[in-house]
Structure 1
Amino acid sequence: MPAIVIAQPGTTAADAIVRDYLTDVASRYYGRPASRAEVDQALRDEPYGDLTAPTGVFLLATDGDEPVACAGARFVGDVAELTKIFTRPAWRGHGLGALLVGALEEAAREHGARTVRLDTRGELAEACALYERLGYARVTAFNADPYSDRWYAKSLELTP
């Protein structure tokens, strides 16, 4: 099983997998392979440099030195906003998404977050199924992201 490590945004490994993530998402959005220019624009539209302490965290699942999955959280008050959750195709079906989301939830608890939320697209069916399986519920839109059409949230508070 790959190791889960905290990564620094902007490193070669982090940038490579985030570009793969954006290529996948943009290609699905456009219904065709995304161009390099479109991926470059997506990276400008969705920067991730703030996913470092104390404002966030960025995780990589690595097989040796090779990143195979990633996930990040941005801390905003008592809310953790999940972002950049992605597993390379060859590694899908191995539970890495759930493992990374669980690690982000733990980091969010340690940071004092009471709620975790995220936005996504319905066409990312695998992601939506993962979030719902992990206890995330659909909620009303909490941002105006033009590329999102689904919003999810989960309470981190312990029930008595």
Structure 2
Amino acid sequence: MTFAITLEDPAKPEIVALLEDGERYGASLYPAESNHFLSIDELRADNVRFAVARDADGVAIATGALALNDGWAELKRMWVVPAARGKGLSRAVLAELESSARAAGITLLRLETGIANHEALGLYERSGFVRIGPFGEYRPDPLSVFMEKRLVSFS
């Protein structure tokens, strides 16, 4: 599969539709208090890098965001449309976000995902993330898995 990944505005209608699909999926697995989605306005903040993968026809098929904090960044809104799964998009979006983090001087990535997101957990574990306790403003939640990864600098 041919695709390109660029940083884009998450408020584009076709991207909003993808984000809403991800929210519906999350809502089908977890109660509202266990879903921690950033809003469109939060995704448009200066500290957020929002990546979109598009297929050869220019159709948005995957998303991922990186929220930069003081000394670390959090992965958010990773989503691949079901028809495009299993083609390396998640790995590619994750690699793009890791590159953006390094470019911003970030050496620690963190994330929260749900216990039923088996494919995501597998991706993150294969990519070097390890399980940790809650971070930032998160509180313990039996439906959440918290992870982090130290980034190696290429400079």
SS of the equivalent of 2:6 reads: strand
TM-score, structure 2 as length reference: 0.86
What's the counterpart of residue 24 of structure 2?
A: 23
> What are structure 1's unaligned runs of at least 5 residues?
31-37
Q: 1:43-122 to 2 correspondence within 5 Å?
A: 46-52=38-44, 54-63=46-55, 64-122=57-115
Pair 1:153 & 2:145 matched? no
Deviation at 1:16, TM superposition (A): 1.1
Per-residue CA deviations over 1:70-127 (Å, capped at 9, x if unaligned) read: 1001000111100000111111100100100010000001111110000011100000
Structure 2 counterpart of 1:29, which letter? Y
Per-residue CA deviations over 1:29-62 (Å, capped at 9, x if unaligned) read: 26xxxxxxx8xxx79x631433347401111111
The percent of aligned pairs where both chains have the same amino acid is 28
SS of the equivalent of 1:22 reads: helix
SS of the equivalent of 1:81 reads: strand
Structure 1 residue runs of 4 or more that deviate by more than 6 Å after TM superposition: none
SS of the equivalent of 1:138 reads: strand
TM-score, structure 1 as length reference: 0.83
CA contact (8 A) 1:50 1:74 kept: no
| Distance across 2 between alignment mates of 1:101 and 1:79 | 15
Q: 1:131-150 to 2 correspondence within 5 Å?
A: 131-142=124-135, 143-144=138-139, 149-150=144-145
Provide the aligned length of Structure 1 versus Structure 2.
148
